[in-house]
Amino acid sequence: MRLSVEGCQARRARLIAQTPTEWIIITNPRHLLYCTPLELSSWGSNFLVINTRSGHTTLIAHSFIQNTAMTAYYDDLVLWRSYDAYHAPTGDWFQGALAQLNLFTQNYGIQQAACEFGWLPHGLLVEPTLDLTPILERMQRQKDADELALIRHNVHVVEAGHAAARQAIRPGATELDVYNAICTAMTHTAGKPILPLGDFVSGERAFHIGGPPTDRVLKTGEVMIVDLFPVVGGYRADFTATIAVGDQPTESQHRLADALHAALAAGEALLRPSESTRAIYEAVKSTLDAQGYEGSFPHHTGHGLGLGHPQAPYIVADSTETLLEGDVITLEPGAYGPDFGARIEHNYLITATGYERLSNHRTTLV
C-alpha cells in the first residue's frame, strides 16, 4: 500500500501552482515520497528536479535503489553508481550524489531553483531563491485521499498493537515482553516490517511520560503507558492507552483515568475547522486542572500527523494556529506526578463540520 500516482500528480500540480520560479529541486526524503511516491529515506541523497513550466520531472537516484526507483512516477531517471555490492566504491556517497545534481543543473543551464532550505547540501551550484518547506508543510495539513488511506491503514496496524498490549500486560511480564507482542501484532497486520516507535513505560517509569521498553517486570497494581507511533509506508498514526497490570486498578488510578477521559472529551468538543489550537489546549488543561491535576500536564495537548510526527498544527499553550478541514491530529491528555502517571490518546480527521475519530482502540484501564 502506498500513495497513488494520481495523488502525486495532484500534489505536484499544487506545488507548481505556488512556485513562481522555473525550477524546483526536492531533497527531503519525506517530500520525495509525497511526490513520487518513493520511500527512499534509508538511502538518502536522491533528488527530484521539476520544471514548473512543462511539469517535466527527473529523478536523480543511486543505482543501488534501481529496482525501487523503477516503480516511481517521473519522466526521466538519472541513475548513478558509487558502491553497489559489485564494484569498488568510486568515492563518498553523499558527495557523489551532489556531483550528479550539479552536473544535471549545469547541463540544463539551471541557475536558480525553489528548494527546501533546511535540506540543501554545501556545494550546491544552483542558487536557492525560494524556500519550499513552508509551502510543502502547509500542503501537508490538508490530506489527500491516498494519504488518508495510508493513515487509516496505519491506524489499523496500531489498533492491532494495542489489542496485543492488553493481552500481554500481566504481572510477571516485562516491558520488553509487551513490546515484542506489540511488534509481532503490528508486523502481521501491516504485512511487512515497520518502524515500531513508541513509549513503553510501567510502574514508576510511567510517572515520567515515556521512554523505550526495558526488562522491568510488571507488578499488580501498576499501570503501563503504551503510546504507539510506528511509521508504516512513510505515514504515522499515534495513539495511547494506559493499562492496569493485574486488572485491579486502584481508586486513584480510576480517578486519574476519569479525568483524562473528561479532558479528552473537552478537547474533542472543539474539533472543527477554524477553531484555535490554543483554545483546545486550554480546554484540555483546564479540565485536568479542575479535577485536581494542576501542574501535572507538562506536554502538548496534541499535534498534526502524517509524513511527520509531530507536525503542524501544534496544540500548545502559545499556539497561534487554527484547525483546517483535512488536518489529521492527535489529542493526548496526560498527567504525571510523584506517584502517578497516565495518558490516553486518539487520532482525528477534521471534517467540514467537525471531526471523525480515526482510532478505535480501548482507552480504559481494564
Q: Which residues bind a copy of itself (CB under 8 A)?
A: 83, 85-89, 92-95, 98, 117-124, 128, 133, 176, 179-180, 183-184, 187-188, 191-193, 196, 212-215, 298-300, 310, 314, 316-321
Tell me whether residue 94 or residue 108 sits nearer to a copy of itself (CB atom): 94
Minimum separation from the CB atom of position 255 to a copy of itself (A) = 25
Residue 99 sits at φ, ψ, to 5 deg, of -60, -40
Minimum separation from the CB atom of position 55 to a copy of itself (A) = 26
Q: Give the residues across from 242 on adjacent strands.
A: 225
Minimum separation from the CB atom of position 277 to a copy of itself (A) = 9
Tell me the C-alpha distance between 336 and 300, whole Å: 13
Phi-psi region of 56 (alpha: psi -120 to 50; beta: other; left: phi over 0): beta
Minimum separation from the CB atom of position 92 to a copy of itself (A) = 4
Rg (CA), the chain: 23
Minimum separation from the CB atom of position 223 to a copy of itself (A) = 21
Cite the DSSP H helix spans in 51-110: 66-69, 93-107
Tell me whether residue 24 or residue 244 sits nearer to a copy of itself (CB atom): 24
Tell me the C-alpha distance between 40 and 28, whole Å: 10
DSSP per-residue string spanning 155-179: HHHHHHHHHHHHHH--TT-BHHHHH
Tell me whether residue 74 or residue 235 sits nearer to a copy of itself (CB atom): 235
Tell me whether residue 121 or residue 326 sits nearer to a copy of itself (CB atom): 121
Tell me the C-alpha distance between 305 and 47, whole Å: 24
Tracing cell 516491558 back to the chain, one arrives at 175
Tell me the C-alpha distance between 193 and 215, whole Å: 23
Tell me whether residue 45 or residue 253 sits nearer to a copy of itself (CB atom): 45
Tell me whether residue 59 or residue 115 sits nearer to a copy of itself (CB atom): 115
Q: In the numeric block, which cell numbers belong to residue 36?
A: 513520487
Tell me whether residue 7 or residue 230 sits nearer to a copy of itself (CB atom): 230
Minimum separation from the CB atom of position 364 to a copy of itself (A) = 25
What is the helix (H) or strand (E) element at residue 8, kind and residue range?
helix 5-17
- Asked whether 161 and 182 are in contact (CB, 8 A), the reply is yes
Minimum separation from the CB atom of position 187 to a copy of itself (A) = 6
